[in-house]
Structure 1
């Protein structure tokens, strides 16, 4: 699927989201510490960005949508394991994984949508001469999901899991988690490496600049730039200068008063 008008500004933004989704594959030297510390988990931000692009464009390549939904399932599971305040039961987590995984498989191998994605996901671009080409898997049938999965290089076990979910025989959370992680690796190799091959440095610089402008605008709106008594080393200096100025002014007033008193005394004596 090729978007005529992509919702991202340029390829650098797509590469940035790629690195947020897949920190294990990220080259650490392209990150700017002021925007994206490599120690931070940016996956939720990547999900939010994909959702924003979906809102703007109306549709996105299924690989992007699947990456977001599968990653979100993993984040729910990680939060559930790390915090007792997250009220997600085992069965609820099972359903979250199952729904995300079934949607992922359906987006690529369902007969109604498979042909539109073959050209973009085929194992070798040169092997696809027309949208009618379908690889036959022995014993599975030419129009089956297994045939379409073979065409795009999707492991058969992904389709097996999808069928189990569809028939109500949902696997346990450990297996679903493992399959979700493998599905994300497959998406990385089959789509992200191929379609998001840019460098995120330009996007990082632009994000940094927008954050700086936004921060300065907030400071001006709050009046913080005009307040001399802020905490920190500079505030003590400002207070000292103002106090000295106040003392000088008081001395001048006192001197003026003394001078006027002397003049008044001279006039009276005269």
Structure 2
């Protein structure tokens, strides 16, 4: 009687150490190390193609914006467009997986996956309204990167490396962002 071998999952990274190194590099705040991590993610993407986890792809796009921002090579308008595209893609890709046969409002989907509503409102402004200020795009990027770290990367590590945010602080951020967007007209 033959014994079945356990199924193995094929991934683009060489092993756990490489995965951990890339995660640390992406979130370290040092542009040089972030760029090295982005280069590694690009190599993963070339190996793995469309099977690349959405969270990895979104994280890389958002970190790329931060690296470009810190380089000082882009004008404010170009940075807004860069952050904007990454934020729109994040909201669309993450919520798309939750869509069923019936169209569900993005705000409802965002609530289901704990994405702050004001990030969806920011996505709406970027897509349909007047471009927001760069500061709001940067804040959106930081909030989304934190969401990805808590929701995806830390879970992949199998432990909680993240500190839990204070509910009051998140609420205040949402109030400030909503005030800046002034988009109570759509839901």
User: Structure 1 unaligned runs (5+)?
Assistant: 25-38, 81-85, 116-131, 133-140, 199-270
Alignment map for 1:22-61 (pairs within 5 Å): 22-23=27-28, 41-59=32-50, 60-61=52-53
Whether the 8 Å CA contact 1:47–1:68 is kept in 2: the answer is: yes
Deviations 1:232-251 (A, max 9, x none): xxxxxxxxxxxxxxxxxxxx
Larger radius of gyration: 1
TM-score by length of 1: 0.51
Residues 147, 11 of structure 1: alpha-carbon distance in 2 compared, 3 angstrom cutoff? same
Change in 2 beyond 3 A, CA 1:10/1:41: same
Is the 8 Å Cα contact of residues 8 and 53 (structure 1) preserved in structure 2? Answer: yes
1:18 CA drift (Å): 0.7
For the 8 Å contact 1:15–1:197, the answer to whether it is kept is: no
Q: CA deviation at 1:142?
A: 7.3
The answer to whether the 8 Å contact 1:109/1:145 transfers is yes
Give the number of the structure with larger relative contact order, counting CA–CA contacts within 8 Å between residues 6 or more apart: 1
Aligned to 1:183: 144
Instruction: State the TM-score, normalized to the length of structure 2.
Output: 0.73
- 1:157 counterpart residue number: 118
Alignment-derived partner of residue 98 in structure 2: 114
CA contact (8 A) 2:107 2:117 kept: yes
Is 1:101 the counterpart of 2:87? The answer is yes
CA RMSD of aligned residues (A): 2.3
How many equivalent residue pairs?
Answer: 150
Classify 1:40/1:71 alpha carbon distance in 2 versus 1 (closer, same or farther; 3 Å): closer
Greater mean alpha carbon deviation, residues 183-192 or residues 89-98: 89-98
Once the two structures are TM-superposed, the CA of residue 54 in structure 1 deviates from its matched residue by: 0.7
CA–CA distance in structure 2, aligned partners of residues 40 and 148 of structure 1: 33
Are residues 1:92 and 2:84 paired? Answer: no
Q: How do 1:121-140 and structure 2 match up within 5 A?
A: none
Alignment partner, residue 167 of structure 1: 128
Judged with a 3 Å threshold, the aligned counterparts in structure 2 of structure 1 residues 89 and 151 are, in CA distance, closer, same or farther, namely: same
Q: Deviations over 1:124-176 (max 9, x none)?
A: xxxxxxxx7xxxxxxxx971112221221111111111111110422111110
Q: Using the TM superposition, give the Cα deviation of residue 102 of structure 1 relative to its aligned residue in structure 2, in angstroms.
A: 0.6
Match of 2:58 in 1: 66
* Structure-2 separation of matches of 1:75 and 1:197: 28
Cα distance in 2 between the residues matched to 1:157 and 1:63: 20
Q: Secondary structure at the match of 1:114?
A: coil
